[in-house]
């Protein structure tokens, strides 16, 4: 009986304290907010020393996080929760379960830069914890405001980076070029921000006679700009990037840089007909064929991709020019290779180059490239690959392209037989 009476008395005292707290909150809101701020700062101090806190404090912190009317309190709560969100899985899930993510997303639009940065930090910690957390952050709508913040930082950073890439210090140049490469590896708006700041002339200049630690990020940035729209790609072409790439291919000995150069050529070749023709005119193709004989399989693969990009992206005039410059014979000669990557490139290239144009399909016309291929013994080697190659995928590809190529060759033979000119 005494214990029951004691319990009732305790509950009554708790209700009285709660009522008093509510009364204080109503009558002295400023005092309560000051106490909230002080308590939150104590939590932040504990976290700063590496100590864990009771997860039961998380609802209190999330409540403070939503206080748009009290930015100082909001900042301290954001600091505490972003710190908690990079700790154990239990802490991260507690933050998520108390619906802090939507509030952090709203913080990305805060008028205070320090609060916006904490919002980005917290969302990054949560999204980076697991795929499910990442998906949750995206579902809540974080991507658009995050991109807006990124563009804001890009606009502020680019003018400074444009100045830094003119410094003579190697370390400064390296970090500035890497920063530009990260910025350019994004939307076309970010690429345009770089172009607008005038970085292109200096970037192209850095492709020549610079240490590899500077050359590589500069080359990566040039490649990223080339992957923008046609206007952006043309801008970097107009500043002489293709000539620099030709020199790199002919004189370079760093495999990583040569791979990046090949990848960049592919980006230029994927442009419009004029830009693809510019790649032909810069005489970049012959060095790419030489790279097909390199020992590094990764370099051979990138060189092969570049060759196919140039051939596949070319206009009729560009493809015709490639044949006149002797592309067919090197491709046919390389069919002797035992390397499946090289054989794939050569077969794809021959299939594309020997595809007849509409004009060549007309009566009285013939496929000039089919003639070049036959003169270079390409058909014989393709036929041999159907049975001799040790790679099933090569045998299948050789078998697939044989019929259309042989059909084109027959038309050529018939054309010249009727003229009485036997060349085969």
pTM of the model: 0.67
Q: Give the per-residue pLDDT at 11.
A: 54
Domain positions in the chain: 19-141, 157-239, 326-424
21 has pLDDT over 50: no
Q: Give the per-residue pLDDT at 2.
A: 47
Q: Give the per-residue pLDDT at 253.
A: 85
The CATH classification of domain 326-424, taken from the options 2.60.200.20, 3.40.50.300, 1.25.10.10, 3.30.230.10: 1.25.10.10
- CATH number for the domain whose boundaries are 157-239: 1.25.10.10
Contact status, residue 44 vs residue 4, Cβ threshold 8 Å? no
Q: Is the dihedral of CA 192, 194, 196, 202 positive or negative?
A: negative
pLDDT averaged over the chain? 83
Q: Give the per-residue pLDDT at 10.
A: 43
| Distant-in-sequence contacts of 102-108, Cβ < 8 A, 24+ apart | 102/140, 103/62, 103/65, 103/66, 104/65, 104/78, 104/142, 105/140, 105/141, 105/142, 105/145, 106/68, 107/65, 107/74, 107/78, 108/142, 108/145, 108/146, 108/148, 108/149
The CATH classification of domain 19-141, taken from the options 1.10.540.10, 3.40.449.10, 1.25.10.10, 3.10.20.30: 1.25.10.10
Within this chain, domains 19-141 and 326-424 share the same CATH topology: yes
219 vs 263: CA distance, rounded Å:
10
325 has pLDDT over 70: no
Give residue-wise pLDDT tens across range 243-257.
Answer: 999 999 988 889 999
Determine the average pLDDT of the residues in 126-135.
90
Give residue-wise pLDDT tens across range 165-223.
Answer: 999 899 999 999 999 999 999 889 899 999 999 999 999 999 997 899 999 999 999 99
At 18, the pLDDT band (50, 70, 90 cuts) reads very low
Single out the residue of 332, 414, 415, 322 nearest to residue 377, CA to CA.
332
């Amino acid at each position: 009986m005494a214990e029951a009476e004691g319990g009732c008395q305790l509950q009554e005292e708790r209700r009285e304290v709660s009522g008093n707290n509510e009364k204080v909150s109503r009558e002295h809101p400023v005092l309560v907010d000051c106490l909230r701020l002080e308590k939150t700062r104590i939590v932040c101090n504990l976290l700063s020393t590496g100590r864990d806190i009771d997860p039961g404090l998380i609802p209190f912190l999330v409540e403070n996080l939503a206080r748009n009317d009290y930015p100082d309190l909001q900042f301290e709560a954001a600091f505490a929760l972003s710190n908690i969100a990079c700790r154990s899985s239990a802490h991260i899930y507690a933050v998520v379960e108390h619906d802090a993510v939507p509030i952090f997303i709203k913080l990305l639009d805060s008028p205070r830069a320090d609060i916006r940065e904490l919002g980005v930090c917290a969302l990054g910690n949560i999204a980076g914890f697991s795929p499910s957390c990442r998906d949750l952050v995206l579902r809540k709508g974080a991507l658009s405001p995050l991109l807006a913040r990124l563009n804001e930082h890009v606009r502020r950073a680019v003018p400074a980076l444009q100045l830094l890439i003119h410094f003579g210090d190697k370390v400064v140049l390296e970090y500035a070029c890497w920063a530009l490469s990260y910025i350019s590896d994004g939307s076309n708006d970010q690429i345009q921000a770089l172009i607008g700041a005038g970085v292109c002339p200096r970037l192209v200049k850095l492709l020549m006679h610079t240490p590899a630690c500077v050359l590589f990020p500069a080359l990566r940035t040039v490649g990223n700009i080339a992957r923008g729209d046609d206007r952006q790609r043309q801008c970097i072409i107009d500043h002489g990037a293709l000539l620099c790439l030709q020199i790199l291919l002919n004189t370079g000995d760093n495999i990583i840089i040569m791979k990046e150069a090949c990848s960049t050529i592919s980006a230029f070749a994927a442009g419009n007909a004029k830009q693809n023709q510019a790649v032909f005119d810069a005489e970049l193709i012959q060095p790419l064929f030489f790279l097909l004989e390199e020992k590094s399989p990764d370099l051979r693969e990138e060189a092969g991709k570049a060759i196919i990009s140039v051939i596949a992206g070319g206009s009729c005039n560009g493809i015709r020019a490639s044949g006149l410059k002797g592309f067919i014979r090197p491709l046919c000669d390389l069919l002797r290779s035992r390397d499946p990557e090289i054989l794939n490139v050569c077969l794809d290239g021959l299939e594309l180059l020997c595809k007849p144009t509409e004009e060549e399909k007309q009566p009285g016309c013939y496929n000039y490239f089919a003639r070049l291929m036959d003169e270079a013994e390409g058909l014989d080697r393709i036929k041999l690959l159907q049975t001799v190659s040790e790679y099933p995928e090569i045998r299948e590809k050789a078998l697939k392209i044989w019929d259309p190529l042989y059909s084109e060759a027959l038309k050529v033979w018939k054309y010249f037989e009727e003229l009485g000119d036997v060349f085969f």
